[in-house]
Amino acid sequence: MALVEGCKHSLEITVPVADVEQETARVAAKIQAKVRLPGFRPGKAPMNLVKTRFASDIRQEVLEALVPRFLQAAVEKERLQLVGRPDVADVHFHSGEPLRFKANFEVAPTFELGEYRGVTITYTEPEVTDADVDARIEQIRDQKAEYINEDPRPLADGDYAVVSLESLAGVDEKVSQDELMLKIGDQATMAAFTENLRGVGPEESREFEVTYPADYERENLAGRTVKFKVVVKAVRKKELPELNDEFAKDLGDFQTLEELKNTVRTTILREREYRAKEDAKHQLLDKLVDAHEFPVPDAYIDRQIQVNVENQLRALAGQGVDPKSIQLDWQKVRESQKDRATRDVKASLILDKIGEREAVGATQEEVDREVQRVARQAREAVAITRARLQKDGGIARIAGHIRTEKTLNLLFEQARKEAGK
């Protein structure tokens, strides 16, 4: 065995002549029994003719039978854990001689765990103030606001204008909308709309140009100057619900405003605790990766990059972007994401080793609970979800994810926590 570099290994393997001749005879006999050659009954063609006529097929089948078998035996003898598909090269296969070939492959890395208990991290217990609660309540009030039509009058700052618009020039395809609501003078409203609609009353129209920034979210408008005709259809005022016990009751299972505030306080605290712990766990992983130096197989890195890209494409699909419309240059993607993917893989391998040492695992109850969650999300029967996950290896992935999270939680509990500045 030769260690080439990092996780890359190489084996030069020799198959004895006796094994080669035995396999060749077996393959030739199988072909002889099936072939039909002119002048001979099925299965009765002379062996020397079969070997001559089908030399290429016999050679290929013999290689396909012997190479994996003897490679597997050599790997087991060396106690290696292969990663990915081996690359077979330098094949020497001649009649009357041993079969020789070279196999290049990657193996799973081996490394010793360093100290992982008591890692120092920055972590401050989150707090929630009355002002935080009031701000969240105001967001809820804003979501429950009603927009009331005012008597016909000119638009002023703070009013909501209900308008229809259509493009007159500046775009390749016409842009139109029958009912759009804009807040006059608001930061979220483009200045051109505020400036040209301030003082305009219902049923009045204006024509004006709007210049969109180059990074505008709608590609057909980004970087363009578009002339619009805008008609004001109505002037509205926003009315917020009164902040009292009735407001709390309308939101759900609350009897008083104080009950609502207590629930909001608890919700904000849980959100902040989750974010703070996630940040602390990332710190932990970064420190553990920095403290453990070992090579990572390219196959692991490529698989991690593939997973990352698929997650990014799913996120884009969730935003309405068709993943098929994105042309990926895999080489560039690999170069840009290799460092991050390498650290992700190392973190995963370290956590696996820690989980094994600490005897951390997923219980059947935990796996069942996650399967039920997936079933609810997919709106299908639990039995159907379970069968699907078992078929594609999803159950094992769920158990692995649970084990990783439990290991991370264990490391977090054992960490030395210092308050942030």
Instruction: Calculate mean pLDDT across residues 84-104.
Output: 90
Residue 19 is predicted with a pLDDT of 92
Residue 329 is predicted with a pLDDT of 77
Residue 3 is predicted with a pLDDT of 56
Residue 65 is predicted with a pLDDT of 92
42-51, 131-140, 395-404: least confident range: 42-51
CATH 1.10.3120.10 domain locations along the chain: 253-418
25-29, 75-79, 113-117, 328-332: least confident range: 328-332
CATH 3.30.70.1050 domain locations along the chain: 2-107
Tens of pLDDT along 221-237?
999 999 999 999 999 99
- For domain 2-107, the CATH superfamily is Trigger factor ribosome-binding domain (3.30.70.1050)
CATH 3.10.50.40 domain locations along the chain: 146-239
- Model confidence at 164: pLDDT above 80: yes
Tens of pLDDT along 258-268?
999 999 999 99
Instruction: Calculate mean pLDDT across residues 376-400.
Output: 91
Highest-confidence range of 102-106, 147-151, 227-231, by mean pLDDT? 227-231
- Model confidence at 2: pLDDT above 70: no
Q: Which fold has domain 253-418?
A: Trigger factor, domain 2 (1.10.3120)
Residue 195 is predicted with a pLDDT of 95
Residue 4 is predicted with a pLDDT of 61
Architecture of domain 146-239: Roll (3.10)
> Which pLDDT band holds residue 321 (cuts at 50, 70, 90)?
confident
Mean pLDDT for the chain?
90
Residue 233 is predicted with a pLDDT of 95
Give the predicted TM-score (pTM) of the model: 0.72
> Which pLDDT band holds residue 46 (cuts at 50, 70, 90)?
confident
3-state secondary structure the chain: CEEEECCEEEEEEEECHHHHHHHHHHHHHHHHHHCCCCCCCCCCCCHHHHHHHCHHHHHHHHHHHHHHHHHHHHHHHHCCCEEEEEEEEEEECCCCCCEEEEEEEEECCCCCCCCCCCCEEECCCCCCCHHHHHHHHHHHHHHCCEEEECCCCCCCCCCEEEEEEEEEECCCCCCEEEEEEEECCCCCCCHHHHHHHCCCCCCCEEEEEEECCCCCCCCCCCCCEEEEEEEEEEEEEEECCCCCHHHHHHHCCCCCHHHHHHHHHHHHHHHHHHHHHHHHHHHHHHHHHHHCCCCCCHHHHHHHHHHHHHHHHHHHHHCCCCHHHCCCCHHHHHHHHHHHHHHHHHHHHHHHHHHHHCCCCCCHHHHHHHHHHHHHHHCCCHHHHHHHHHHCCHHHHHHHHHHHHHHHHHHHHHCEEECCC
